[in-house]
Amino acid sequence: MIYSLYPLLKVVSGISLHPIVHEDNIERNLSIKKGMIVSERVMLELGHYIGRQVAHEVIYENCMKAFDEDRPLLDCLLEDQRVTVDVSEAKLREILDPEKYTGSSAKLVDCVLDKYKDFL
């Protein structure tokens, strides 16, 4: 298995570990989706209150409304009593913050780096 990684490691060894990050592009790309990029997180959180299937339907309907009306998902969710009866505006804003929704990505990257640190 190690030998099969050799060509890949040879290719990636020339990649800079300090990539150029265009924060303005990140912000622009996130704003294009108007909050829908983290709709899964909202659905999972809302599922704790109203059940998974109902939460799925609520989020689907609100995402479609946000898309059709070219509005932020937050605005649509705040108008939906099925959401606001259990979740405050402050909590919704927190849930919809993409910076707070990285899932297990950091842990996965650390695991891969630990496993292959001798090859890098």
Taking the C-alpha atoms of residue 35 and residue 11, their distance in angstroms, rounded to an integer, is 36
- At what angle are helices 52-69 and 39-50 packed, to 10 degrees? 140
Does 98 fall in a domain?
A: yes
Task: Count the domains in the chain.
Answer: 1
Residue-by-residue pLDDT tens, the chain, 120 positions: 556 766 777 666 666 666 677 778 777 877 777 888 889 999 999 999 999 999 999 999 999 999 999 999 999 999 999 999 999 999 999 999 888 777 777 788 888 888 877 766
Structure confidence at residue 83 (pLDDT): 96
CATH number for the domain harbouring residue 110: 1.10.40.30
Q: Which domain holds residue 53?
A: 28-116
CB-hemisphere CA count at 13 Å for 120?
A: 10
